[in-house]
Amino acid sequence: MTWDIFCRVIDNYGDLGVCLRLARDLARRGEQARLWCDDLSPLAWMQPEAVPGLSCQPWDESVGAAPGDVVVETFGCELPAPFVAAMAARPVRPAWINLEYLSAESYVERSHGLKSPQFSGPGAGLDKWFFYPGFNDRTGGLLREPGLLDAVTAHHGDAWRAARGWGRRPGERVLSLFAYPQAPLAPLLEALGPGWLLLLCPGAAQSAVPALLRDGQRALALPHLTQDGYDQLLWSCDLNLVRGEDSFVRAQWAGQPMLWQIYFQDDGAHGPKLEAFLDAALAGAEDRWAANWRALSRAWNGLGPWTPACAEALRERPAAVAQARAWRAELAAQVDLTSRLQAFARRASGA
């Protein structure tokens, strides 16, 4: 099938990162994918090499293009009206799918797979279907390309970092830091204590962290990495601090302890979203460690105080690793998002 995937860049590049991973995965599975975006400039570092079967096109050039078999409207980006009209005029109407944001909240299971008939506008007569990623089999699942976990297992993190000049010193642990500008860096560094090498991804932390380092800590500023390179960074660290959605999902596949900075929302909706994820990811963990990690996650997101429990959570690496691996295994037992989306599109189109 031919897929059209539409993405708008709002204030960060996470949405584009998700869309690129989806489009690339589809192409590598033999589909034809076109990624339409209003800002393709980040692809120069995210995906500098061409991918057979994947075409990345400016958003405005979709006007006049013939729609494919499946049209994916990501994150409510609203398709161009002329393209929707062309969808409605197509002899065999495409499957129109709205790919939503990831959440562990209960509404996801209720909303996944719902149909929205279009009664007016350029798409009158079409059906739009809602596809929700998630963390169980009653949702759309998570992006996981074939062979990913085998690649994680075969990866040699110390050698990979050393080859790039990011090697650890004796006794050091290594973390990657990808955070929003409002991240509470000072209390984090205090809770970490000595013996850490911080690998700082591009962003505000690269200028803020050096002046905040405690004794026994050091930091290196990293360049922009390709998506594959960023994955390998996550596989190479003892702790990954991630944000948003794309890096958040990839860190879970790395199987290392992960601290998530959720996207802040003025209405406070990020609080319940964080708690829903923690409820799922910490299920079955030892009670004391789970309580400490929850306290750390709340503090990192400005939803709770920094207490001694936060530092204790960071010191309890064996428990953190065990839970990260158990959670990854639970997720890996499920069908991945791309496979589910392909099957969903076939059902939606009647193919």
Write out the DSSP string of 78-133: ---HHHHHHHHHSSSPPEEEEE-----STHHHHHTT-EEE--SSTTTT-EEEEE--
Name the DSSP class of 223. P
Number of other CB atoms surrounding residue 334 within 10 Å: 17
Cα three-residue angle 12-254-334, rounded to 5 degrees: 95
Residue 5 phi, psi dihedral angles, 5° rounding: -120, 120
Active site residue 137: no
Q: Are 72 and 129 in contact (CB under 8 A)?
A: no
Q: Kindly report the number of other CB atoms within 10 A of residue 231's CB atom.
A: 22
**Out of 245, 246, 316, 336, which one is annotated catalytic?**
245
Count the residues in the chain. 351
CA dihedral sign of residues 57, 59, 65, 70: positive
Residue of 15, 25, 145, 336 marked active site: 15
- Whether 245 sits among the annotated catalytic residues: the reply is yes
Catalytic residue positions, numbered: 15, 245
